[in-house]
Chains A and B, each alone.
Chain A
Amino acid sequence: DAGITQSPRHKVTETGTPVTLRCHQTENHRYMYWYRQDPGHGLRLIHYSYGVKDTDKGEVSDGYSVSRSKTEDFLLTLESATSSQTSVYFCAISQGLAGEDTQYFGPGTRLTVL
């Protein structure tokens, strides 16, 4: 298994509070991704990073921000959590090789916003 950890694994928070989720990798992969998983929607890309300090939006980026100050860490922040952000969040990594962009996933973080 790829060396990817996510913290926390579970979190319950209240509407309006800030929340930061952390993804840590030991593979030195260039690309890192944040997805959310909701029933009936599969996985949807929130944000991704293609290098330190290089990030871009995915299809469901509203209400989320990210930062990557080191190759191994990719943070997802909900500035003011809402109930619609209750979901399971997955981090993924890939090497970013041309013609070979297999993504490997972390164990997930279950976030509940009350």
Chain B
Amino acid sequence: AQSVTQPDIHITVSEGASLELRCNYSYGATPYLFWYVQSPGQGLQLLLKYFSGDTLVQGIKGFEAEFKRSQSSFNLRKPSVHWSDAAEYFCAVGAGDYKLSFGAGTTVTVRA
């Protein structure tokens, strides 16, 4: 079965600084990979997804992620964070069986 590890529980970043959130997955074949964001008290919103093709994926809100098969990683990046990016971020992996496995999440705090 597939699994996901998000090594960072909490990250604090200054407004305007760059952000990188790490995601490592375990799955034998090519996975389907997702990043979701959850603002406080809200549901999960899809940021971006990777199924195949170009390993650098662009998403909403200025985020991008890069699939690196050799490292089993799918890290999320944003060049310049805004205060509104403070949220919890979840990485998820799918194996094509219509089910997803989620990481434990990374909480991002943005300081002025």
Contact = CB atoms under 8 A, between A and B. Distances in A.
Contacts of A96: 98
A96 B45 CA distance: 18
Interface in B56-109: 90, 92, 94, 96, 98-100, 102-105
A78 to B, nearest CB: 20
A50 B98 contact: yes
B27 interface: no
A102 B98 contact: no
Interface residues of A, number: 26
A105 B102 CA distance: 13
Contact of B99 (A40, A45, A99, A107): A45
B98 A101 contact: yes
A41 B94 CA distance: 17
Interface of B is mostly: strand
Contacts, number: 52
Contacts of B94: 101
A75 to B, nearest CB: 18
A43 B42 CA distance: 14
Given A42-B102, A50-B98, A99-B96, A107 B51 contact: no
Interface in A60-110: 90, 92, 94, 96, 98-108
Nearest to B1: A59
Interface string B13-52: 0000000000000000000101010000011111001011
Contacts of A92: 44
